Structure 1
């Protein structure tokens, strides 16, 4: 049943085919000339249509098979049209007998057989339709000229019937068709299974027609009638194959790819909890993705999408800022990006990142495209991190203070020897360092919140750098990295007003990063200079990966360090900013990486 559907797609098509067959049979019984004219004109129209299909879809057709058939069948149709007009009784070419239409028939079938064979051989190649058209035009016009100028052999003699050349030609044409059938397998991958079977059946019909045309004596014989029915069937099948391979199959493949891409996009949006929307700014027409419906608590298409409906779900405190961002984007034709709180239909409070941009569609109306991504998990993780940081800062201070106190009391005991006293001093010293780190961490947290108040004092950056280099000397030695401090003294050079410990933290982070980023036997250079401000530059041979350059100073961004926290450059930026300074960097394969800090002089 499935293979029947390759030929007939519907019962209506079957009924139409039966009706045409019955009508042609009746015409053949009462007026053979009308039957012949209608059957041949059907083939001519089909052949011309194949060229039109190939020409209109030449940019989309990947198969050379269809291009070659389209180019050839235009000229096959031309010869068949002349054959129809030259047929006995038409009176279009006076002075010619039945030999002329028979010659034109043989010429058309030779051209058709060669076209099918060449198409099979070149099926997988890209063919230029114009070149193929004019190639077959030369061949077709040569055959027509040879016939009308008397160079083409006779095919029919009144009173004798078919000539030996005609009979041999029919066999030769059958051989061409069978060879074309063998080469058709080369085209199966590019034209598809359905078109393959349709063309195969068309060639079988053509072979049958040629065999029938070897038997008739009169141009009105029964074999001639049956042969024309076979030809009509052959042309119908090959036309249906061209439509299937050139239009139906590519569109089916395209729709399958589109549906597959749509399903993949929906799956990706579901995994990322990422919805999208668009709005035509002229008509107000709005569309949502299925995931946006789900994020807000609706079933897809449950509600008519609109900007108002989204606004109803945004937290009242966050809505004004979001609307202001959108209004600004509409005026400036730019993007907006804001994190907001929203609630679902069930009342669940969540967080989202809303982004959008205005698209100018040229002569058409402008469109606002946007995304709505649920970031509740990220916000919860950030809150958990903040809670852990808070616990670490506050809850560890008490036991750590006790450790320091007990170490100091133990240090004052009289019965300790020097080695024991030194060990206790180290415990106390490391406890103080730990307590200072906690205090620094609390300071950074206040900087993030904008509540930090710095007690500014004179700071000598040269001395800070010397302490940093001294503390990191062992790490640099293990990595075989050399230190170099370059100073360009001037009045007040290297002296600022700020927090000494914060400045130490700032440069310790930058120098440590430089040491870790340097290759073995590399070099870290530190330069202090005065350019209207105190400026410090930390240089190393390493290169910052492109993937992190844009976010180099962002929180938790790190690369190439298994134990890296991504807080070094982030905290350095905070400290530079709280001092009223600035920070930046440059990196390249040729120059390495240089991180610079500018701080106001005292």
Structure 2
């Protein structure tokens, strides 16, 4: 939309220039036609035309003196005023005019030469880069003194050299002067070109074209012999064209450019007001004289122009109009620093918090009041939110500190518990050694019972301590896996078979099956052992005699699935969601004779995730439970990696202590072979 408007404006400007040029050309053709019929009429017409243009240039330059920053323009305005004066004297004293009591053609020609010297010299001086502001009065005074001296030298005697002799023609002084004037004009072109950055591109083009045509005009004035000569006519026409081009340059730089800049400034000012997120309006005598779109929205209007000229009281609610009315009566229009702020609780019946800001404002020629209505509801909400966030931050810090203290407590507790546990286990070992050495009756059932109970509870306590330590390390980020290449099928199989004695004692059938005989993956065998033993321990606890526990391995190319499935009592659906939560003990609601801390499955899930895997649980009450572990596989370089595997006997002998610890909460304790 904006581009189309700009395009239309440019087309209108081009059409306007064409029309102006056609009118000027028509006038010049008409004046030339008059010249062939009546040269005197042609001369006075063309001179008056040039004088009017020069006078207009002078008026524009002088009247824009206070606001124009271009010193050359001001200088040209002064100089062209004096050029117009000498051209007027030249026209009035011309042969045949009989207005002033002067005879002959020499004086008019001398006045012409003076006007051209003033014009060319002024253009040459204007071509320089002006660093300082000119002294307006001194420049006019200087031109006036020089003009009076030159004028007196012409009419006061034979001081000024003759320029035209009747019957002979142009004098050498006249011809040399014309060429000298051409040289000065050419030098001025060089100066203008050197400092062209100081001028608008179009203005610069007009000035250069004007000077070039002026040079051509002066050349024709060196050729005529008679004052009614055709070369004289052409010279006058070119002079008018030169003056007109200079007029266009002055108009462009003194009027059009400042006006365009003013329009742009006003448009920027209006755009700035429109872009304000606040309601902005200006009032004078309680009437709205300017408003932005946001203000019209606050009052429920679509267009801000609907409010201009309206009385503010007709649209202001009782909440904020009294505030505006109170302060507008106290605002001093001469004190620009006054700013008043006050908050109101509603605007046009809406529950928003508004801030009224007022200050004296000069709008065009009026002493008015600028008012800003700012909806600060969101700011208030943001402040409340910031306050709430600060409170939450403090709570979070307190919670983190509490978690740190809790973790530290668990760690200290675990370490402290190891000392008495070691003493208990040492006592058990001494008793077993005495039984072995027959220092104690080995057939005494009471002694065997208590040793068994001591060992079982030692393992249970040690399992709790180990779990607490590991969870503490995991929470602190210190728990690391020792990943090595292993045949996962072999590892799981040997762990499973190592507890067959436990399941047989409970009359539970433990089965192992696999889709693949070998699958090399990077695992921590200690962690896998804890995962599988924990799941098997749960399965044994919640599976009755005569039931089955099945361990399966499935190969899915990029991942391996390990299934531990039982046909036990199952888990209720409402308990499945939190099955892996820490300290959750679903079994308490199912079998009260089975004990646990609720840390096992949470630890299992964490260990699986540390391997980059996932764990799922599927269960149906009364039918059994299945845990599925999903572990990712990697490309193994079989030539460089070292694969570690153990047989079942080696595994059981190596990890017998851990097996006893993981299965310690199965009652009664069953010793592995």
TM-score scaled to structure 1, two decimals?
A: 0.57
Specify the alignment match of 1:290 in structure 2.
293
Q: 2:33 matched to 1:26?
A: yes
SS in 2 for 1:311: coil
Could you say which residue in structure 2 is the equivalent of 1:62?
69
In the alignment, is residue 142 of structure 1 matched against residue 149 of structure 2? yes
Q: 1:302 to 1:199 in 2, by over 3 A?
A: closer
**Deviation at residue 156 of structure 1 after TM alignment:** 1.4
In the other structure, the counterpart of 2:378 is: 377
2:159 paired residue among 138, 148, 151: 151
The residue matched to 1:121 in structure 2 has which SS? Answer: coil
Secondary structure of the structure 2 residue equivalent to 1:153 = coil
State the shift of 1:335 in Å. 6.5
Secondary structure of the residue aligned to 1:277 is: strand
Single out whichever of 139-148 and 34-43 deviates more from structure 2: 139-148
Give the distance between the partners of 1:50 and 1:187, measured in 2 at CA.
21
Q: Does 2:194 align with 1:193?
A: no
Deviation of 1:24 after TM superposition, in Å, equals 0.5
Change (3 A) 1:330 1:71: closer
Measured after TM superposition, the shift of residue 164 of structure 1 is 1.7
Partner in structure 1 of residue 283 of structure 2: 279
CA contact (8 A) 2:207 2:249 kept: yes
- Residue 310 (structure 1) shift: 5.0
SS at match of 1:115: helix
- Check conservation: 1:326, 1:336, Cα contact below 8 A: no
Q: Contact 2:93–2:102 at 8 Å: present in 1 too?
A: no
Gaps of 5+ in 1: 313-318, 402-414, 416-602
2:326 & 2:12 partners in 1: Cα distance?
59
Change in CA separation of 1:6 and 1:200 when aligned onto 2, cut-off 3 Å: farther
Query: Relative to structure 1, is the Cα distance of residues 309 and 171 closer, same or farther in structure 2, using a 3 angstrom cutoff?
Result: same
Find the aligned partners of 2:24 and 2:170 in 1 and give their Cα distance. Answer: 32
Distance, in Å, in 2 between the alignment partners of 1:365 and 1:302 is 19
Alignment of 1:38-117 (within 5 A): 38-94=45-101, 96-117=103-124
SS in 1 for 2:150: helix
Would the aligned equivalents of 1:281 and 1:366 in 2 still touch at CA under 8 Å?
no
Q: 1:382 offset after TM fit, Å? A: 2.9
How much has 1:393 moved relative to structure 2?
A: 10
Distance change in 2, residues 1:94/1:5 (3 Å): farther
SS of 2:280's partner is strand
C-alpha deviation, 1:201, in angstroms: 0.9
Counterpart-to-counterpart distance in 2, 1:172 and 1:33: 28
User: Counterpart in 2 of 1:256?
Assistant: 264
Cross-structure match for 2:658: none
CA shift, 1:44, in A, is 1.6
Q: 1:352 aligns with which of 354, 366, 391?
A: 354
Name the SS for the 1:369 alignment partner: strand
The answer on whether the counterparts of 1:65 and 1:124 sit within 8 Å (CA) in structure 2 is no
- Matched position secondary structure for 2:162: coil
CA RMSD of aligned residues (A): 4.0
> Is contact 2:203-2:253 (8 Å) kept?
yes
Contact 1:280/1:367 (<8 A) preserved:
yes
Q: Deviations over 1:45-67 (max 9, x none)?
A: 22222222122111011122112
Q: Deviations over 1:5-61 (max 9, x none)?
A: 999943331232133113202210211001001111111222222222122111011
Taking a change above 3 Å as real, the CA distance of residues 186 and 129 of structure 1, as seen in their structure-2 partners, is farther
Q: Closer, same or farther in 2 for the Cα pair 1:156/1:7, shift >3 Å?
A: farther
The Cα of 1:123 is off from its aligned counterpart by 4.1
State the alpha-carbon separation in 1 of the partners of residues 119 and 400 from structure 2: 98
When the two structures are aligned, how many residues end up with a matched partner? 390
Cα deviation, 1:190-227, whole Å, max 9, x if unaligned, reads 34222211111111111111111111111111111111
Question: Are positions 1:131 and 2:138 aligned together?
Answer: yes
Report the TM-score, using the length of structure 2 for normalisation.
Answer: 0.51
Aligned counterpart for 1:223 among listed residues 220, 227, 231: 231
Q: Determine the C-alpha separation between the residues in 2 that align with 1:390 and 1:310.
A: 42
The 5 Å alignment of 1:265-344 reads 265-267=273-275, 269=276, 273-281=277-285, 284-295=287-298, 298-301=301-304, 303-304=306-307, 307-308=312-313, 310-311=315-316, 319-320=318-319, 322-330=320-328, 332-333=330-331, 337-342=341-346
Preserved CA contact (<8 Å) 1:123 1:190? no
* Cα distance change, pair 216–393 in 1 and its aligned pair in 2 (3 A): closer
Contact 1:27 1:35 in 2 (8 A): yes
Instruction: Write the distance in 2 (CA, Å) between the matches of 1:6 and 1:214.
Output: 38
| 2:281/2:288 contact within 8 Å kept | no
Matches of 2:26 and 2:131, distance apart in 1: 38
Change (3 A) 1:326 1:249: closer
Alpha-carbon separation, structure 1, partners of 2:371 and 2:33: 66
Counterpart Cα distance in 1 of 2:176 and 2:158? 19
Q: Distance in 1 between matches of 2:222 and 2:127?
A: 26
The structure-2 alpha-carbon separation of the partners of 1:133 and 1:394, relative to structure 1 and needing over 3 Å to count, comes to closer
Relative to structure 1, the CA distance from residue 6 to residue 285 in structure 2 (aligned partners, 3 Å threshold; closer, same or farther) is closer
CA distance in 1: counterparts of 2:293 and 2:182, whole angstroms: 58
- Name the CA distance, whole Å, in 1 between partners of 2:190 and 2:177: 20
- Give the Cα–Cα distance (whole angstroms) in 2 for the partners of residues 365 and 169 of structure 1: 57
Please give the per-residue CA displacement for 1:171-201, whole angstroms capped at 9, x wherever unaligned. 1111111111111125533342222111111
Q: What's the CA shift string for 1:504-528, capped at 9, x where partnerless? A: xxxxxxxxxxxxxxxxxxxxxxxxx
Contact 1:65–1:187, Cα closer than 8 Å, also in 2: no
**Which of 244, 253, 260 is residue 245 of structure 1 equivalent to?**
253
Q: Is this contact kept in 1: 2:273–2:280, CA < 8 A?
A: no
* Counterpart Cα distance in 2 of 1:66 and 1:246: 8
Cα 1:4–1:68 change in 2 (3 A) is farther
Find out whether 1:214 has 2:216 as its counterpart: no
Report the alpha carbon displacement of residue 309 of structure 1 after superposing the two structures with TM: 6.5
Note if contact 1:123-1:186 (Cα within 8 Å) is conserved in structure 2.
no
Q: Aligned partners of 1:230, 1:361: CA distance in 2, in Å? A: 49
Check conservation: 1:329, 1:336, Cα contact below 8 A. yes
SS of the equivalent of 1:256 reads: helix
Contact 1:7 1:237 in 2 (8 A): no
**Does the 8 Å contact 1:63/1:124 carry over to 2?**
no
8 Å CA contact 1:146–1:152 kept in 2: the answer is yes
- Is the 2:161–2:173 contact (alpha carbons within 8 Å) kept by the matching residues of 1? yes
8 A Cα contact 2:279 2:292, kept in partner: yes
